[in-house]
A and B are shown apart, each in its own frame.
Chain A
């Protein structure tokens, strides 16, 4: 158990582990991502209502899922940093913020493009789009705050606080904008209720969710390595 937890505490151990697993994770991620996308784009059956345009789902849904998951990931690290002062936590928060920012941008972009053929508009002030957009701003704000302090310790703590307060805000924003207006279709897949899409479409979707997840994890490994080296060189 101690060996497993060591990379969480010691930066050196983390870097060793990071370098060791990086190529495998990258390969696995690209493999599953491409597999999911190819099956989804070329092999999955056509949607009766939306036609072929629904195939953006294999990109949009993973991005939308991870845009939120990454924020939760950041919040957990923030919590652990503020409570137990875990050394690598600030690097994790910062690298997650970089990736989260990109993923949220892609979720917004793919959603916008999907909106053109299905809704006839690329932007609507719809509940989920608005909350995702606010999430995007939150990522940008975190990065800006982190970059504006010379003192690393102050920057780390303030970033962790904002991330932590932000995560409490996410469900509140979600609820409030739901209350405000909604046009977005309800989620196609859910952990608790039966999915509303056919299994033949669901399988590639699940593969692409897993693939994108592993790929983003590999990006995270790389970015966190850069963040750690940069902090050490400072």
Chain B
């Protein structure tokens, strides 16, 4: 087993990840956004329903 240690020494390195940073980070950010929008939408719908009652 290889060691689990911090792989990047500067923020720039972590953001760039070689050349692949754009793919990796954009995927995670979009997923985060989708999760948040989904969650917020249903919270909002839930609140609307309760107000109607």
Q: Which residue of B lies closest to A204 (CB)?
A: B4
Q: Verify if A59 is at the interface (C-beta below 8 Å from B).
A: yes
The answer to whether A233 touches B49 (Cβ under 8 A) is: yes
Cα-based distance from A116 to B22 in the complex (angstroms): 11
By size class, the interface of chain A is 35 or more
Cα-based distance from A106 to B1 in the complex (angstroms): 30
The answer to whether A46 touches B20 (Cβ under 8 A) is: no
Q: Which residue of A lies closest to B53 (CB)?
A: A233
* Chain A nearest Cβ from B36, distance in angstroms: 11
The answer to whether B39 touches A106 (Cβ under 8 A) is: no
Contacts of B26 in A (CB 8 A): 113
Chain A 45-69, CB-CB to B under 8 Å as 1, else 0, gives 1100001110110011001000000
Q: Which stretch, A148-156, A164-172, A224-232, touches the partner chain B?
A: A224-232
Could you tell me which residues of chain B, from 3 to 53, have a CB within 8 Å of some CB in chain A? Answer: 3-8, 14, 17-21, 23-24, 26-28, 30-31, 34-35, 38-39, 42-43, 45-46, 49-50, 52-53
B residues whose Cβ falls under 8 Å from a Cβ of A: 1-8, 14, 17-21, 23-24, 26-28, 30-31, 34-35, 38-39, 42-43, 45-46, 49-50, 52-53
A residues whose Cβ falls under 8 Å from a Cβ of B: 37, 39, 41-46, 51-53, 55-56, 59-60, 63, 102, 105-106, 109-110, 113-114, 116-117, 198-200, 203-204, 215, 219, 222-223, 225-226, 229-230, 233
